Amino acid sequence: MTETETPAFEALPTPCLLLDEARMMRNIDRLAGHAAGLGVALRPHLKTAKSPEVGRLQTGGTPGPITVSTLAEAEAFHRAGHHDILYAVGIAPQKLERGRALRAQGCDLTVILDSAAQARAVAEAGVPAMIEIDSDGHRGGLTPSDPALLAVGRLLSGSGLLRGVMTHAGESYGVSGREAHAEFAERERAAVVTAAEALRAAGLDCPVVSVGSTPTAHAARDLTGVTEMRAGVYVFFDLVMAGIGVCGLDDIALSVLTTVIGHQKAKGWTMIDAGWMALSRDRGTAAQAVDQGYGVVCDAAGRVLPDLIVTSANQEHGIVALRPGAAGPVPEFPVGTQLRILPNHACAVAAQHDRYHVIGAEGGPLRVWPRFGGW
């Protein structure tokens, strides 16, 4: 942090959300380059950022194809100029009227499904869809060998609404290291390509073959048969991604600025004004090799302070202390000291805030980018 930025930091009400633009752009460029090298299109997932400014950067500076997880996101990003939108959560029939309204406004909205009941509702509504494929037992979807795949495909194809197949290798979050993620990437690719080939063998068009999770997107080595890649949290990264080897701590672009409000010296505690309302209750690193509590502690300039984490959190209070098993003195932070907390899960922490305070890649004053929520 430069001297010119320090007064701006000190003027910010805490807790608040900071976004390091230089780190974010490095993350964006990294995945864009990898997708290009594999010969597939990148359809970034904008659920993490929920920000038109960030979304525009994720699609190369101009509106492009995107993925969303709520209809509120689809509506907001369509207003921001994005027209090719995949709503990548299984469609509920009650939501199809909003989907039709979006399409009537010029949005090329595609939904996903994995059942004949959904396919019949989609066919009646006239909204195009992709079939979700289960590649790892993580969530919903049809396996490539399920007879229902062709039945659903025929229901959609008969109405001219079959866009293709998609999958998400969510179980890749449970393994660590590039080799393990590459194995999941191949499992993901094989499942969705096999499903596409089955549909084509039955005489059904399947133009789009879509894969995506942040770990597999970065580790994939061969995407033969795939047309597009999706990922979301890569834009900011977080401690969960660092814990499974997808990024380093210095790649995490998001942090929560907080202020020291007190001490319990006998316990080795420093109290801060960021509790779970600011940091979220996400404890995604608890099952990993290194438990990062409610977040890793940095100084106001973003430098990681060794072995300091937020060990517990109440609604508006956080407790900073040495991680269990760590030795050494507890640093002394006078009341009023500003610290930054790196998040366990960028999506969950960002969802607690309504704006980003952006640290510019070229320096200069902080900017404010609004973010939205809801469904």
Q: What is the pLDDT of residue 6?
A: 47
Res. 2 pLDDT band, cuts 50 70 90: very low
The predicted structure's pLDDT at residue 96: 98
Segments of the chain assigned to CATH 3.20.20.10: 23-235
Summarize pLDDT for 358-374 with one digit per residue, the tens. 999 888 889 999 999 99
Q: Cα(248)–Cα(58) distance, rounded to whole angstroms?
A: 20
CATH class of 6-17+246-370: mainly beta
Angle at 314 between CA 312 and CA 319, to 5 degrees: 40
Q: How is residue 18 written in tokens? A: 């900071």
pLDDT digits (tens, 9 = 90+) for 182-197: 999 999 999 999 999 9
Q: What is the DSSP string of 120-180?
A: HHHHHHT--EEEEE-SSSSSS-B-TT-THHHHHHHHHHTTT-EEEEEE--GGGGGS-SHHH
Q: Which has more pLDDT, 331 or 59?
A: 59
Query: By CB neighbour count within 10 A (0-12 exposed, 13-18 middle, 19+ buried), where does 178 fall?
Result: middle
pLDDT digits (tens, 9 = 90+) for 22-41: 999 999 999 999 999 999 99
Whole-angstrom CA distances from 114 to 134, 225, 324 are 9, 21, 45
Q: Please, where are the H alpha helices in 12-160?
A: 21-38, 52-58, 71-79, 96-104, 116-125, 148-157
Q: Is residue 200 very low, low, confident or very high in pLDDT (cuts 50, 70, 90)?
A: very high
pTM for the whole thing? 0.95
The pLDDT score that the predictor gives to residue 116 is 98
Q: State what percent of residues in the chain have pLDDT above 70.
A: 98
pLDDT value of position 47: 98
pLDDT for 262 equals 97
pLDDT digits (tens, 9 = 90+) for 142-182: 999 999 999 999 999 999 999 999 999 999 999 999 999 99
- What percent of the chain stands above pLDDT 90? 94
**CA proximity to 109, closest of 147, 141, 79, 71:** 71
pLDDT at 361: 85
Q: What is the mean pLDDT of the chain?
A: 96
Distance CA 311, CA 271 (A): 11
How do residues 244-256 score in pLDDT, each as one tens digit? 999 999 999 999 9
For the chain, give every residue range classified as CATH 2.40.37.20. 6-17+246-370
- CA dihedral over 144, 148, 152, 155, signed as positive or negative: positive
pLDDT digits (tens, 9 = 90+) for 53-76: 999 999 999 999 999 999 999 999
| Residue recorded with tokens 């494929």 | 133
Contact 374, 70 (CB under 8 A): yes
Q: How far apart are CA 13 and CA 308, in angstroms?
A: 23
What would the pLDDT profile of 6-18 be if each residue is shown by its tens digit? 446 989 999 999 9
Question: Does residue 1 surpass a pLDDT of 60?
Answer: no
Q: Tokens representing 232? A: 């979301």
Give the Cα separation of 357 and 337 in Å (integer): 18
CATH assignment, 23-235? 3.20.20.10
pLDDT digits (tens, 9 = 90+) for 113-141: 999 999 999 999 999 999 999 999 999 99
